[in-house]
Structure 1
């Protein structure tokens, strides 16, 4: 059996240093599996979720398209990734069932944060974790753009960075569940760059840095909302028609299905943006 591929970029550097500096070993990836979800903690935090919903004026559309049983929720990711901490639990409250999330494994390198994420229902985004949760009948949310969409510059708001990724198609196929495309509108406006950084993000130096280390490994630009708090933006989550992946018999068919899901998500984004009330 082939050895697992070692991570590159910042993760690879952390692992290399951890081999030489024992105190850094605690920043290794911790995979809690799917068993650490703490429903009592989620219930205890329901007043917090209600306050968040009121703060952001949250609206969900198309929830009637989500059937009972397992399903993979696939959508766009906002800059800073703050939407991933808000949307799953608000949606779970609306549907009356928990939403499990596939999270970037980098987050499961951070002590305390990783334990909290696991208790709230998130798991490292491995194929094995995803299939197991889906086969157990869970709704699972995934952002195919991952860290690339979290780290995108401000001028790429609401653009998708999926490339030719078809892993989520294969996961849904293996678990025999539908995909539910969705769009989050408002998720790019939680925070704004500090003055002067819009121009820096467009600079030749910024482009060079991204080419050198990769988008997901570049430094996060300094940003703010209302001080450290996010802006109280209107959040709308729109769900499209479910997609069956039973026809993904080969790579070409899987890519065609991926492009179909992507097209739905982009269409929902355009719809949500067009229907937003004008700024006062």
Structure 2
């Protein structure tokens, strides 16, 4: 052991002795402009971004004080919502159109197309908390409840696994229910063509019929350009997902593309429709929003340019 240590020390000494200081100085001279031109401006940009988020909180200080007086978790929810609104405004120039179609009281099911990461859902929730004073209950995939450190976040965020009985209970208590019928399968295996992958899922329609509430379709323009799933090996990852129900397909992105959420017309309760018929009707409504507001195939550069249009 001692001999190995001595050999290692000797190797370090030889390396130092043979180091070409002229080469080292030349490399420093070569890469210093790159550090100055790219790294330092990035640091300044991040600092400015942080200032923007802080100012959003500062602007909302009175609202946060009011929330603190209303309930134990209300201030926490509004603080988180303020952060996500700041993130949405600064990074994505986020807009939501048709907010008036979501009722200020009473129950409704909000159905959206699931992007690779449902960042638009976070933005929608933030807007509902801040401007409708409503905390929607959300349906989350079962694997989320096994992620370490998520338990309290899911509890305070009113996220449930989404059994039919739980959803009906939420709706009958006059709450909003936010969900994506495509779930993780749609998130992982749809693409820039915005294919809806719901299969035969109609549980959300059963809940709406049982609770006698409307369903409101939503779609966020360019949500597939903000984050994307790796297309290489997709069939393999699809096979893994069907076997273990875990989202293993790698995701990349975080691009600051323009995001706009369009809220469609509510589909009222109709006792003459079966859950299967209602599910098809809702899927057609979401598809209409995609056809109307999304250029197919999606393009990251075009979505970035939407920030300036």
TM-score scaled to structure 1, two decimals? 0.72
Structure 1 position 153, deviation (Å): 5.1
Structure 1 position 222, deviation (Å): 4.8
Match of 1:41 among 73, 76, 81: 76
- Using the alignment, how far apart are the partners of 1:218 and 1:49 within structure 2? 24
Match of 2:249 among 213, 220, 223: 220
Q: Is the 8 A contact 1:77 1:143 kept in 2?
A: yes
**1:92-241 correspondence runs (5 A):** 92-152=129-189, 154-155=191-192, 157-192=193-228, 197-198=230-231, 200-201=232-233, 206-208=234-236, 210-211=238-239, 213-214=241-242, 216-217=245-246, 219-223=248-252, 225=253, 230-241=254-265
Question: Relative contact order: is structure 1 or structure 2 higher (C-alpha 8 Å, sep ≥ 6)?
Answer: 1
- Using the alignment, how far apart are the partners of 1:222 and 1:173 within structure 2? 36
Equivalent residue for 1:62?
98
Equivalent residue for 2:294?
273
Structure 1 position 189, deviation (Å): 1.8
- Using the alignment, how far apart are the partners of 1:49 and 1:140 within structure 2? 19
- Using the alignment, how far apart are the partners of 1:153 and 1:241 within structure 2? 24
Unmatched segments (≥5 aa) in structure 2: 1-71
Structure 1 position 248, deviation (Å): 5.1
SS class of match (1:181): strand
Match of 2:128 among 79, 91, 111: 91
Q: Is the 8 A contact 1:41 1:120 kept in 2?
A: no
- Using the alignment, how far apart are the partners of 2:251 and 2:100 within structure 1? 39
List per-residue Cα deviations over 1:30-66 (Å, max 9, x = no partner): xxxxxxx932311232431331221221111122222
The number of residue pairs the alignment matches comes to: 227
- Using the alignment, how far apart are the partners of 2:251 and 2:224 within structure 1? 15
* Cα distance change, pair 69–117 in 1 and its aligned pair in 2 (3 A): same
Equivalent residue for 2:275?
254
Q: Is the 8 A contact 1:248 1:257 kept in 2?
A: no
Structure 1 position 265, deviation (Å): 0.4
- Using the alignment, how far apart are the partners of 2:259 and 2:240 within structure 1? 35
Q: Is the 8 A contact 1:190 1:233 kept in 2?
A: yes
Q: Is the 8 A contact 1:75 1:143 kept in 2?
A: yes
* Cα distance change, pair 274–154 in 1 and its aligned pair in 2 (3 A): closer
Q: Is the 8 A contact 1:169 1:245 kept in 2?
A: no
SS class of match (2:201): coil
Equivalent residue for 1:264?
285
- Using the alignment, how far apart are the partners of 1:89 and 1:111 within structure 2? 24
Asked which structure has the greater CA Rg, the reply is 2
SS class of match (1:188): helix
